[in-house]
Structure 1
Amino acid sequence: MTDDATDESAAERQTEETPEEPVEDASTAGAEATESGERGGESEEAPTSEGLAGRAAEYDDDLAADVAALQTRADELEAELAEKDDRVEELEAGLRRTQADFQNYKKRAKKKQDDIRDRATEELVSRLVGVRDNLLRALDQEEGADIRPGVESTLKEFDRVLDDENVEPIEPDPGEAVDPQRHEVMMRVDSDHPEGTVADVYQPGYEMAEKVIRAAQVTVSKGDE
Structure 2
Amino acid sequence: MSDEKKPVDDTVQSPTEAAATSPPDGVGVEQLKAMISALQSDLDKRIDDLAGKQDQYLRAVAETENVRRRLEREKEDTAKYAIAKFAKDILSVGDNFQRAIAAVPMDAVESDPALKALLDGVVLAERDYKSALERHGVRVIDPVGQPFNPHHHQAVMEQEDTGVPAGTVLQVYQVGYLLDDRCLRPAMVVVSRGGPKAGKPGDAPQEAPQDKPQSDA
Q: TM-score normalized by structure 1?
A: 0.36
Larger Rg, first or second structure (1 or 2) = 1
Q: TM-score normalized by structure 2?
A: 0.37
Q: Does 1 or 2 have the higher relative contact order (CA < 8 Å, sep 6+)?
A: 2
* Higher-helix-fraction structure: 1
